[in-house]
């Protein structure tokens, strides 16, 4: 690793976005639960 690369890695701005480790299990479960509930609402309302 060169000095320029090390400096660039340290100076990289953090914008508050997702972390590098990715979403955890609870986020996946919450997302799929939301998808299923939305699909149920759409079909019950007769929009599909």
pLDDT tens per residue, range 5-34: 656 556 666 676 666 666 688 999 999 999
- Number of separate helices (H) and strands (E) present in the chain: 2, 0
Place of tokens 């759409």: 42
- What pLDDT is stored for residue 36 in this prediction? 97
Query: CA-CA distances (angstroms) from residue 41 to 15, 21, 26, 33, 45?
Result: 35, 33, 22, 12, 6
DSSP type of residue 8: H
Residue 38, pLDDT > 70, answer yes
CA torsion 14→18→24→26, rounded to 10°? 120
């Amino acid at each position: 690793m060169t000095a320029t690369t090390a400096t660039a890695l340290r100076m990289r701005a953090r914008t508050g976005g997702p972390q590098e480790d990715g979403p955890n299990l609870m986020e996946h479960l919450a997302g799929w639960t939301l998808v299923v509930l939305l699909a149920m609402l759409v079909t019950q309302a007769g929009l599909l």
